[in-house]
Amino acid sequence: MSDILELTAAGALAKIEAGELSGDEVFDAWAEAADGDELHAYLKTTEREGEADGRLGGLPIAVKDIFCTEGVETTAGSRILEGYLPPYTATAVRNLQQAGARVLGKTNMDEFAMGSSNENSGYGPVRNPWDRERVPGGSSGGSAAAVAGGLAPWAIGTDTGGSIRQPAALCGIVGMKPTYGAVSRYGMIAFASSLDQCGPLTRDVTDAALLLQVLEGRDPCDSTSTGIEGGVELPSREDLSGLRFGVPRELSGDGIEPGVRAVFERTVGLVEELGGEVTETALPHAPHGISAYYVIAPAEASANLARYDGVRYGVREEAGDLTAMYERTRAAGFGPEVKRRIMLGTYALSSGYYEAYYGQAQRVRTKIADDFRAAFASFDFVITPTSPTVAFRLGERTDDPLAMYLSDYCTVPMPLAGIPAISIPAGLAAPEGGAGELPVGFQIAGPAYSETRILDAAHALERAIGFDARPQA
């Protein structure tokens, strides 16, 4: 059984196809591992259901609790949705099930995907398998910790400003945010609809490609979904010759802790050894990404979260009249970060301030997208560290929302521009101030719909990096 847990999803699938393992055996081995969860990566594990057939052979998958699953409690990490049983399943999960994957459990997350550490979960934080006193990143921290901690072979999450890539980096696994529209958002509980995107968290790049092949597609239930024309190919590239990489100075210098910068620079050296051409470039507006994101995302969230009023979903706090019932339900059901975002967003959209905040943020967003367009005229990819720091201590940033928001410095520009990016583990580094070494992620971003090319480049680099460290815990 322990051998099964050593396999990647693609590795397990090969053994199922060769008749050496059955899909049920693989599922049961992972279910047993998931039941031993000491990281609080799961909010709920589920029974084995359905047949072990289809392309994915009955493989189990961990699903972030932001995806609606018919008849299975779905909370998005919020107390306000406690007990909510969705009447339908999200398209992304449905696509996986139709391909023969089976849900292993629903993973813990920051409430409504707002956070970078998982400490905003209404159900208590997730622990990082590399150091249980540290955060796994967020908001898809449960999915990342499950994969890194040997509690799931692979997982899906969502990324609005970095929530797949940053936890993947902090947990030492692969995470990819696809192009906006590549994967349907139908049944994915909305945070910021113009940014939210579903994607894979996996042990290696091949598994990320395999998962994205099944996830992507146009969905008549999501009018913003496009799929990826031509689909996604499994990666095979072993060198980077002929490829041009731009290193934006704004996202790779100041503010990046020394250990992370050292791993980044070493990895840039490997890109060159593999034949890639690396040049410094500029994304002049990228440093304003955080400011624009923290106006746009809360603005959209304030509208999306208006639906939680105690009438239709989850929790209701009874009161003498309707308005008081709304107020009491929302006061009791939402956590402090969600309330902060609703207030920020409502303020930014209010008459008299709309142009000064929301309008201005949208203009910055356009400038950031223009910067990337200009960079991609000269480069195939832009490369940066994924997170300015390695995993931080539980509680370290909870009293300082601005310090928490800076975790997203290198990851928010891509969703603002709608473009895809992957984070792969590049090595280990000690945190500033000392302590044991922790994983560092390397980010590769490309133009819209360049997923196959990004995965191919990441595959070549992954081989050269040869990251094989594992959490001790």
Question: By the criterion CB under 6 A, which residues form the site for ligand GLN?
Answer: 113-116, 139, 159-163, 191, 297, 408
Q: Would you tell me how many other CB atoms lie within 10 Å of the CB of residue 298?
A: 27
Distance CA 150, CA 33 (A): 7
Closest by CA to 236, choosing from 205, 215, 213, is 205
Is the CB of 297 or the CB of 444 nearer to ligand GLN?
297
Catalytic residue among 117, 143, 163, 450: 163
* Nearest distance, CB of residue 43 and ligand GLN, angstroms: 17
* Nearest distance, CB of residue 82 and ligand GLN, angstroms: 21
Instruction: Report which residue's Cβ sits closest to ligand GLN.
Output: 163
Catalytic residue among 64, 407, 423, 450: 64
Is the CB of 160 or the CB of 267 nearer to ligand GLN?
160
Q: Is 225 a catalytic residue?
A: no
* Nearest distance, CB of residue 174 and ligand GLN, angstroms: 17
* Nearest distance, CB of residue 1 and ligand GLN, angstroms: 34
Distance CA 196, CA 189 (A): 9
Q: Is 106 a catalytic residue?
A: no
Catalytic residue among 78, 117, 139, 225: 139
Q: Would you tell me how many other CB atoms lie within 10 Å of the CB of residue 31?
A: 18
Distance CA 366, CA 306 (A): 27
* Nearest distance, CB of residue 297 and ligand GLN, angstroms: 5
Is the CB of 191 or the CB of 357 nearer to ligand GLN?
191
* Nearest distance, CB of residue 293 and ligand GLN, angstroms: 7
Distance CA 390, CA 256 (A): 10
Is the CB of 297 or the CB of 421 nearer to ligand GLN?
297
* Nearest distance, CB of residue 138 and ligand GLN, angstroms: 6
Is the CB of 197 or the CB of 206 nearer to ligand GLN?
197
Q: Is 367 a catalytic residue?
A: no
Q: Which residues of 357-376 are buried (b: 16+ CB within 10 A; e: fewer)?
A: bbebbbebbebbbebbeebb
Is the CB of 408 or the CB of 462 nearer to ligand GLN?
408
Our CA dihedral for 133, 137, 138, 142, rounded to 10 degrees, sits at -60
Is the CB of 84 or the CB of 191 nearer to ligand GLN?
191
Q: Would you tell me how many other CB atoms lie within 10 Å of the CB of residue 144?
A: 36
Catalytically annotated residues: 64, 139, 163
